Amino acid sequence: ELRRIYRNHMCLNKFLGGLDRNLSSLASK
């Protein structure tokens, strides 16, 4: 159970990281 939550957390971090990069690239244009 804990491992599943941890994997979901990593997936969320990756998603937020990609979102943050997208916002940064949009702001730099």
Per-residue HEC secondary structure of 1-29 comes to CHHHHHHHHHHHHHHHHHHHHHHHHHHHC
Structure confidence at residue 25 (pLDDT): 94
Structure confidence at residue 22 (pLDDT): 95
Structure confidence at residue 23 (pLDDT): 94
Q: What is the pLDDT of residues 1-29, one digit of tens each?
A: 899 999 999 999 999 999 999 999 999 97
Buried b / exposed e along 1-29 (16+ C-beta atoms within 10 A): eeeeeeeeeeeeeeeeeeeeeeeeeeeee
pTM, full prediction: 0.58
Structure confidence at residue 29 (pLDDT): 76
Q: What is the CB-side half-sphere exposure of residue 23 using CA atoms within 13 A?
A: 6
